[in-house]
């Protein structure tokens, strides 16, 4: 979600803002980073409108956790819950994801430049 937001705003990627080589970000809470990114977007006159994320994994099952994930992410990103979509997808046993060796996430974010009055018309 962080990469989708900063990417949509043309502000680089997660490593640009939270380099893995920097000790201060070692073991950082990703939800704290998300809150920082929401502030960064505001500083650059961007307003997140929505995020759609697909979590690709064999386990855990995402659907039982999706509502809570949406609530927490919405809170940290400063978005209404209905502006965040999180869904799970199996890799049907194929490849490293299918073998349970990892998880992948595909996320897309929509952002708009803000004015003093609010988001600009799209």
31: domain CATH number? 3.30.1330.50
Q: Are 114 and 78 a contacting pair, CB within 8 Å?
A: no
117 has pLDDT over 70: no
CB burial string 80-115: b at 16+ within 10 A, e below: eeebbebebeebeeeeebeeeeebeeebebebbeee
Residue ranges making up the domain that contains 21: 2-119
pLDDT tens profile 48-101? 999 999 999 999 999 999 999 999 999 999 999 999 999 999 999 999 999 999
Q: Provide the token pair at 26.
A: 């070692």
Query: What is the total count of domains within the chain?
Result: 1
Three-state SS for 40-78 is HHHHCCEEEEEEEEEEECCCCCCHHHHHHHHHHHHHHHC
Q: Is the pLDDT of residue 115 over 80?
A: no
Contact call for residues 75 and 34 (beta carbons, < 8 A): no
Res 121 pLDDT > 70 = no
2-17 pLDDT, tens digit per residue, is 999 999 999 999 999 9
Burial 8-22 (b: 16+ CB within 10 A, else e): bbebeebeebbeeee
Q: What average pLDDT does this structure show over 18-27?
A: 93
């Amino acid at each position: 979600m962080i990469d989708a937001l900063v990417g949509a705003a043309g502000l680089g990627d997660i490593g640009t803002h939270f380099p893995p080589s920097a000790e201060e970000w070692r073991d950082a809470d990703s939800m704290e980073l998300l809150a920082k990114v929401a502030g960064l977007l505001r500083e650059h006159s961007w307003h997140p409108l929505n995020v759609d994320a697909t979590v690709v994994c064999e386990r855990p099952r995402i659907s039982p956790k999706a509502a809570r994930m949406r609530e927490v992410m919405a809170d940290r990103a400063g978005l209404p819950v209905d502006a965040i979509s999180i869904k799970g997808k199996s890799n049907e046993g194929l490849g490293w994801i299918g073998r349970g060796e990892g998880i992948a996430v595909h996320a897309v974010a929509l952002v708009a430049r803000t004015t003093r009055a609010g988001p600009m018309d799209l």
